[in-house]
Amino acid sequence: MQGSRCKERGARGFTLLEVMIAMSILAIALVAVFQSQSQSLSMKNDARFATTAALLAQGKMAELEAASARDLMSGRGDFGELFPDYIWEVVVGESAVQDLKRIELVVVHNKMPVNNTYQIVFYKYSAI
């Protein structure tokens, strides 16, 4: 009777193999979750840059559109204390069409190692 009681107790526990398989499945699942979290953070940073750079470029573009055509010149600068990591550069040149200036506006985020540039090219009529 005692022998059958020991077999019952042993049957209720987990074997080392079952524990190792469960740990392996758990490890694979956790790696997938952590990878997903990392990718999510990267996508959030990319989305934040795209939104911020687009709005900053739109504001700078509005300034350039408001200026007279003969006052337009190439230059560079920053966006002040509110956006210290962002800089802009404007390149004003002639286009293939007479009396039409080609204006290239580039917004760059200095702290991002990749995908840190947002560029807009637009044209402005410059006849007097």
Average pLDDT of the residues in 76-104? 93
Backbone φ and ψ of 98, nearest 5°: -65, 145
pLDDT exceeds cutoff 90 at 11: no
| Residues β-bridged to residue 118 | 107
Q: Which has more pLDDT, 11 or 46?
A: 46
Give tens-digit pLDDT for 30-85.
Answer: 999 888 888 898 899 899 999 999 999 999 999 999 988 788 899 999 999 999 99
Q: Minimal CA–CA distance to 120: which of 109, 105, 110, 108? A: 105
CA 38/CA 51 separation, integer angstroms: 20
Per the structure, the complete domain to which residue 69 belongs is given by 2-125
CATH number of the domain enclosing 80 = 3.30.1300.30
- Residue 10's alpha-carbon distances to 3, 21, 101, in angstroms, are 11, 19, 86
Please state the length of the chain. Answer: 128
Q: Identify residue 53 by its one-letter amino acid code.
A: A
Angle in degrees, CA 108, 110, 111, rounded to 5: 130
- Please state the separation of Cα 22 from the chain's center in Å: 37
- How confident is the model at residue 5, as a pLDDT? 53
Q: Minimal CA–CA distance to 88: which of 113, 114, 124, 60? A: 60
Number of domains in the chain: 1
CA 32/CA 28 separation, integer angstroms: 6
- How confident is the model at residue 2, as a pLDDT? 53
Q: Identify residue 110 by its one-letter amino acid code.
A: N
